[in-house]
Structure 1
Amino acid sequence: MLIIGFDWASDKHDVCILCPDGSVLYKGEVEHSAKGFEKLQQKIASLEPREDEVHVALEQHDGALLAWLLASGYAVYGINPKSADRARDIFHPSGEKDDRRDARMIADLLRNNLSYYKPMHAQSDETLNLRALARLRVSLVQEKAALKQKIRGRLAEWCPDVSKLCSDLERVWQRELLHRWPLHEDLTKAEDKDMKAFLSSKRLRAETKEAIQCVRASRATHVPRGRKTALRMEMKFPLDKLDTIIDQIKQVDEELESAYKSHSNHAVFNTLPIKATTSLAMIAGAFGDRRCNPADWSQYASWWGVGPVTVSSGKKKLVKRRRGCDWQVHQALLDFSFSTVFNVSGCWASDYYKRKLEEGHSHNGILRALSSRWVKILWTIWHKGIAYNEMFHREQIMLAKTKIRKSG
């Protein structure tokens, strides 16, 4: 058996190979390339021919190195960066940082705690595609929000009236208006025929057209002549990027919907009370398609930051939330829970939310607690491959309440 620790970097990786007794068999660097991976594979095979007896630990949770390790058939373990930092303090109390020593430290961390770690499992291509598309969409939405904020900030600073008029840049007419007349001064100087052609080409309500004409007729704020050229560019460039990203999100949405519908989890998750593709695709991809010997539902809730974390020491005991989690899945669960409360009639989640609100809990705290309950339900229907049943769940809630009354 071999224990291997990696200290990941962009161009090369430090690697340390240990025996079960802790003696070092190999220390070196691996080039971040197919050639480098092949050389390391040959080295590992010369020390241990059986892939299932090779245990690998690294902090990385995505990328070519991780994909190669999983494809090679090794038992791969993801190390939480916080755990690695704390272990580094044990091995190097002075705070010294060295990549080679870190590789040895990560290998020793796995060797001494092998029974506590669970190996990663290679997922199907369908799951990998679903996960990648869902996370790509989140990244694009964040970039879109940043661009919108940048444009609104410039408008609020120099053209406050136009900023109020174009407060929702998701609307095509607002972006096109800013493309043609980026400054308030440009809008006031627009030719009547050009403005008439613009308004007639858009299906706008009468009050919207009137608002545009009012801003056009109002007095523009003063912009120094030396700032106008650069300011127009500061509006144009992010607007061009925003148009591109909005189109890209539409393309990703189409691919995401197709990937979600063709995934093995769709048949089960499609029975849930809401059909929000973006949230459910993220959650379905996070669960994956390996239903054999999965982690307990509470571990999933903890990984995704919706499960309670109990801290007990002496006479002190408190419950807190976990912040170091997969925040993208965390947000998808919150969005899903929010929809089951406010967008679905007759769902048990709405009653739960109202009851907790009356007890004095905060909105965000209730959504996290509700998400934890939903994770238990999602895990059950996913693990067993059964459809969601609203009536069955309500019966279980009533049964639990009855048991509490009898025990009380």
Structure 2
Amino acid sequence: MLFIGDDWAQAHHDIELVDESGSRLARRRLPEGVEGLAALHALVADHLDEDAEADQVVLGIETDRGPWVQALIAAGYTVHAVNPLQAARYRERHATSGAKSDPGDAHVLAELVRLDRAHHRTVAGDSAIAEHVKVLTRTHQSMIWSRQRQTNALRSMLREFYPGALAAFADDLDGRDALAILAIAPSPEAGRRLSLSTITAALRRAGRQRNLQATAERIQAALRAPQLEAHPGVVSAYTAAVRSLVAVIGEFVVQIEVLRAEVEAGFGRHPDAEIYLSQPELGLVLGARVLAEFGDDPTRYADVRGRKNYSGMAPITRASGTKRIVLARFARNRRLADALYLQAFTALTASPGARTYDDRHRAAGATHHQALREPDPVSRTPDLRRGSPRRGVLDACSQAAGVPPQSGGAGPSAGEVDRRDRPRSGDCGVVPAAVARAGRHRHWPRRGTEHR
């Protein structure tokens, strides 16, 4: 076998090849792109036995994305995506002085996959449609976070010189009403001059159809109310800044909706979309996020515990001597944890099973956030692939409701589900009879939760 450490950077890759005994065979700095990849293949050909298969080349790299990694996988190499934090800890085994270099990191990665590869996962083999959904959902969520950062900046700025706008729009500064009014009145003086007809026309252009008169009167009263004034010398600067921020936030709002449509369309084409939508409070956007972050490679997780650890739902225990403490897991997939947290929160009002499960944990002394992080092993972090025990649970719930199992896929029937995976008391409350008949959950997340 041949072991390769690849310390990647934006423009180059530091490569080290070692054999099974740990002897260094080659060390190179290769450029990013086709030329560098061809040079890497040439190095492998020079040192790999002629009768060896491509999967005998084991490579460690601190990323699982990008065309370089995809090309390595396509070549048949066994690629391990190593967490940078794990690589940093492994480096301390070789040098306690704190010394670090790119060639040294390549050596660390080569030794890691040579000695400890059994403790590290290979790059998941998700399908093309799952990768498609991941790109869209991550971009969509990143744009939402960026919009929120700009909105927070706008709120901070208005607090400095335009408190009337904060009183008029409260916590909805990125809403259509606020953006429409601030676009035509970015300063306190301009806000006081707005007539009722001007405000009404702006709200109508922004898309408001109901309560136009009452909303316009409320906004006008807030903008004309007495307020403390900022220094006259900085008002014009604040006005220009507000005008720019409003334009940026408005464009974010437009593009977020464009991406939302793309996310829903891509998610709808995935063969497992129906199964995800059958989960309580997973709508099109949240369901797409969960699918994208969990992936659809059936061999990616050994068991349910692996899913719980990856999502951050399982706590960690620190014990030493007589001291023992249980903490939340912060080393996790942040995007997945966010989606599952929102799912759990919105499910409390729509799913009797989720409500009962949460109440049981709260009665045992758990806080609100602790109860939401604690997943039901059947309904929150199941193996959602067709042919999985969870699919059998859904079919069992359907049969309990007196309807046929869900069609599609070769999943086990209710009679073929292992007894440990059969729906317990309350599980079919998580997937109620109306849901089983429809093949998906009828209750979508509350307004705004999918846009977090």
User: Which SS does the other structure have where 2:98 is aligned?
Assistant: coil
Give the counterpart letter for 2:133 in structure 1: L
Match for residue 89 of structure 1?
92
Which stretch shifts more, 86-95 or 376-385? Answer: 376-385
Gaps of 5+ in 2: 401-413, 415-419, 428-452
Q: Name the counterpart of 1:40.
A: 40
What secondary structure sits across from 1:76 in the alignment?
strand
CA distance in 2 between counterparts of 1:380 and 1:111 reads 32
* Inter-CA distance 291–184: structure 2 relative to 1 (3 Å threshold): same
Unpaired runs of at least 5, structure 1: 401-408
Matching residue's letter, 1:33: G
Match of 1:249 among 246, 253, 256: 256
Q: Who is 2:362 aligned against?
A: 357
Q: For residues 350 and 17 of structure 1, what CA distance do their matches in structure 2 show? A: 55
Among 51, 56, 81, the alignment partner of 2:54 is 51
**Partners of 2:421 and 2:296 in 1: CA distance:** 28
Aligned ranges for residues 8-407 of structure 1 at < 5 Å?
8-48=8-48, 50-167=53-170, 168-190=172-194, 194-195=198-199, 197-198=201-202, 202-203=208-209, 205=211, 206-292=213-299, 294-342=301-349, 344-346=350-352, 348-370=353-375, 374-379=379-384, 383-384=388-389, 386=391, 388=394, 390=397, 396-398=423-425
- Residue 5 of structure 1: SS of its match in structure 2? strand
Farther off after superposition, 225-234 or 380-389: 380-389
- Greater shift, 43-52 or 31-40, is seen at 43-52
Q: In the TM superposition, what whole-angstrom CA distance separates every residue of 1:277-307 from its partner, at most 9, and x where no partner exists? A: 1221111123333225742121121112111
Structure 1 residues 182, 294: CA separation in 2 closer, same or farther (over 3 Å shift)?
same
CA distance in 2, matches of 1:191, 1:362: 49
Give the conservation status (yes or no) of the 8 Å contact 1:12–1:30: yes
| d(CA) in 2 for partners of 1:131, 1:118 | 19
The structure with more helix, counted as a fraction of residues = 1
In structure 2, the CA distance between the partners of 1:154 and 1:371, relative to structure 1 (3 Å rule), is farther
Q: CA deviation at 1:355?
A: 1.5
Question: Aligned in 2, Cα 1:310/1:396: closer, same or farther, shift over 3 Å?
Answer: farther
Q: Given the superposition, is the C-alpha separation of residues 327 and 199 from structure 1 closer, same or farther in structure 2, using an over 3 Å criterion?
A: closer
Relative to structure 1, is the Cα distance of residues 373 and 272 closer, same or farther in structure 2, using a 3 angstrom cutoff? closer
Contact 1:306-1:372 at 8 Å conserved across structures: no
**2:16 maps to amino acid:** C
Distance 2:204 2:118 in 1: 70
Deviations along 1:323-378, whole A, 9 cap, x unmatched? 11111011111111222222x143x1110111211222101101111266544434
User: What displacement does 1:77 show?
Assistant: 0.7
Query: Whole-Å Cα distance in 1 between the matches of residues 385 and 369 of structure 2?
Result: 24
Shift of 1:241: 1.2
Same amino acid, percent of matched pairs? 23
Verify the 8 A CA contact 1:307 1:369 in the aligned structure 2: yes
Q: Report the residue type matching 2:310 in the other structure.
A: W
For 1:404, the equivalent position in structure 2 comes to: none
What's the C-alpha RMSD, in Å, of the aligned pairs? 2.6
Q: How many residues align?
A: 398
1:183, CA displacement in angstroms? Answer: 1.1
Match of 1:406 in 2: none
CA distance in 1, matches of 2:337, 2:377: 10
> What is the one-letter code of the residue matched to 1:370?
P
Distance in 2, matches of 1:345 and 1:301, equals: 21
Matches of 2:128 and 2:270, distance apart in 1? 10
Counterpart of 1:226, as a letter, is G
SS in 2 for 1:28: strand
CA distance in 1, matches of 2:173, 2:426: 50
Farther-moved stretch of structure 1 (62-71 vs 186-195):
186-195
Letter in 1 for 2:45: A
